[in-house]
Amino acid sequence: MGPRITRLDDDAISKSGSRVLPREEAALRLVGKLSDVPVPEVLYSHYSELGGDLFMSLIPGSTLKDLWDTLDEKTKERLCYDIWSLIGKIRQILKPPEFNNFFLCSADGSCSQDVYVEDLESPPRPLVNDAAVRARIFERYYHFYGRRYTKEEILAMLPHSQSSVFTHGDIAPRNIMVDYHTHEITGLIDWEFAGWYPDYWEYLRIHKPINDKNWREWMDRTAPQKWDLAGFVAVRRVLF
């Protein structure tokens, strides 16, 4: 069950549930402090073993998901370039020294719960380099009865990365707020998966099949860099 979103007044909302964790607050504070990317301001938070409550400022506008089909081609193109520009700013947020031993981690330094890399063991093991990330992805593929490809084939097909950059982790039309009249981006929301990931990760997650196909095509067309995702396509058939 997903988090519960409640509009408190004209300026604030709350997000509550078992998946509301300190990592999302850490991401919002980092991006708000270290960039000019528009994000909700954290007003108050509370956490327990059952989950959390995160009170935030309300980002004005409509979701891009609600507006996309009403836009002309020129506006779609411009918006996608704007999204990539914001992603470029996000990628400039440096990893704190205390997280330097992690290649992939959430915004608060905890282990990511992304479906590709969530650890099957407890406590979760940190991912310290690119090889460890690819090994974890294969581990999950094999655990969930992926047998079509060998370990060597999966490891070879997955992208290789030497850089770990700050990543939203769930860039999608439903998480992009846009002014209804000007079609300017007013904010990015839903930062629960944010953290430092291999440099291809944002591109990968943008290409989730559940995201609007036409939007994915425009994002691919306007992408400043592209990666071969064949390995993830193979793994995705097993994990999803």
What is the Cα–Cα distance from 207 to 52, expressed in whole angstroms? 29
In the predicted structure, residue 1 carries a pLDDT above the cut 90: no
Q: How confident is the model at residue 2 (pLDDT cuts 50, 70, 90)?
A: confident
Residues 57-67 as b/e (b if ≥16 CB within 10 A, e otherwise) read bbbebebbbeb
Q: Region 61-87: what's the mean pLDDT?
A: 98
Residues 201-237 as b/e (b if ≥16 CB within 10 A, e otherwise) read bbbbbbbeeebbeebbebbeebbeeebebebbebbbe
CB-based contacts of 195, cutoff 8 Å, min separation 6: 23, 27, 104, 105, 106, 107, 112, 166, 167, 169
Tens of pLDDT along 135-180? 999 999 999 999 999 999 999 999 999 999 999 999 999 999 999 9
What does pTM read for this prediction?
A: 0.95
Q: Region 66-80: what's the mean pLDDT?
A: 98
Tens of pLDDT along 83-119? 999 999 999 999 999 999 999 999 999 999 999 999 9
pLDDT, position 212: 96
Q: What is the rounded end-to-end Cα distance, in angstroms, of the chain? A: 17
| Domain architecture of the chain: domains with CATH | 60-239 (3.90.1200.10)
